[in-house]
Structure 1
């Protein structure tokens, strides 16, 4: 759907006189649920410690980073009404593209169908579920059992976060300073810690507990937002069908 959205936004930008090209969408390879489960791949631990491939933003969304001019941004988001004498669509090119992709969504109000699609709405609900889950005492108990297991292995960490975030290998804000030498990764110390970490997560059932708690929290968030999620589902179904038409060249913007 993102590629079709980019195609329509490029068309809209050209209509007002801006030749801007979005990057090609890449396959999404990042397994985001791994973080929610608190699962650590034992094979990864042996090979590279906590260092994971495919955790850059483009691997998580499929959209590589790209620069954008101020003029293109103003037109995309409708921050200006005219550009070089040409009328900018109300709410910008992004909203115009989304209105076309949203067309035909069942049970969706005209107001919802005609506005810019909020890509971050579902992720915000995921975050809300995560916040709810992390307050569950079962998570704290799972961390305590994991910590006891690690201590028996000769490692003193209060939680899995502290192990992953050990300053011997984890990047900090100061590491971004100019001229700073990156910390060595995949060292024996990191690998030994990660191997013990993965083993303790398995032995204590750490990930199983997180899966149970997070699933319950997500179901609670779903229950609270069922009507809105039904709207999002309908929009996504329409956007998927319309995206195929856009990419096939059978659905285009009208002016």
Structure 2
């Protein structure tokens, strides 16, 4: 970006604190439930990616993404500065074609595989059976919910697009009591264990079907990690 005449700096990356598999496993922290109900730490995109949100100007966007061919008399590389940086970070990836090494790194590719495995898993009858067993447990405690999603999405505390500007109060006694009972029933019925088993099976099927592509992604990731260290210590730089 400086080569293009733009002083652009990304915000500093923060440590990643998101427990990425919690949603897939349907696990509810009983200690957090007793403290604040279904508010499990108030996760934000920062905690999930380590990258704080940031904004860019139109000029910065055009040059970053390569939406223009020239900027202030200078040639913008194909794909923009993001593609140029990715090509540098991808350099030396083993078993990767020049086409893969030279294109933008797709950070959403692995999450798409995860989503595919999740979709596959939730068609499994075992999860529906686990939901019914959990529901029976909740009913024995005077709480009538057909699914864990229904409990978490109870309109007494869940925020929707309709009330986003005036959200329901969180951490109320009713929410905490429900969440505590929910966490107890998930543990007593082995709900999360079932989900872990089914999701793992689905993920292994997705891995088996896409092993060659996942090997490419792994190789790119290893190269990018090593090259990032060299960029940060100044031993690897872009050439123009």
Matched with 1:229 is 214
In structure 2, which of residues 219, 227, 232 is the aligned counterpart of residue 247 of structure 1? 232
> What's the Cα RMSD here?
0.8
Paired residue total: 240
Task: Tell me the secondary structure at the aligned position of residue 213 of structure 1.
Answer: helix
5 Å matches for 1:144-159? 144-159=132-147
Once the two structures are TM-superposed, the CA of residue 247 in structure 1 deviates from its matched residue by: 0.5
Query: Are 2:182 and 1:197 aligned?
Result: yes
Once the two structures are TM-superposed, the CA of residue 74 in structure 1 deviates from its matched residue by: 1.1
Structure 2 distance, partners of 1:165, 1:57, is: 20
Once the two structures are TM-superposed, the CA of residue 175 in structure 1 deviates from its matched residue by: 2.0
Query: Are 2:133 and 1:133 aligned?
Result: no
Query: Are 2:206 and 1:218 aligned?
Result: no
Query: Are 2:48 and 1:68 aligned?
Result: no
Once the two structures are TM-superposed, the CA of residue 22 in structure 1 deviates from its matched residue by: 0.8
In structure 1, which of residues 6, 10, 30 is the aligned counterpart of residue 18 of structure 2? 30
CA contact (8 A) 1:36 1:130 kept: yes
Matched with 2:81 is 93
CA contact (8 A) 1:29 1:54 kept: no
CA contact (8 A) 1:50 1:194 kept: yes
Structure 2 distance, partners of 1:86, 1:147, is: 63
Once the two structures are TM-superposed, the CA of residue 149 in structure 1 deviates from its matched residue by: 0.6
5 Å matches for 1:169-184? 169-177=157-165, 180=166, 182-184=167-169
Matched with 1:10 is none
CA contact (8 A) 1:25 1:62 kept: yes
Unpaired segments ≥5 residues, structure 2: none
In structure 2, which of residues 31, 41, 53 is the aligned counterpart of residue 43 of structure 1? 31
For residues 57-84 of structure 1, the C-alpha deviation after alignment (integer angstroms, 9 at most, x for no partner) is: 1110001111111111111111110011
TM-score, length-scaled by structure 1: 0.93
Task: Tell me the secondary structure at the aligned position of residue 216 of structure 2.
Answer: helix
Runs of 4+ in 1 over 2 A off after TM superposition: none
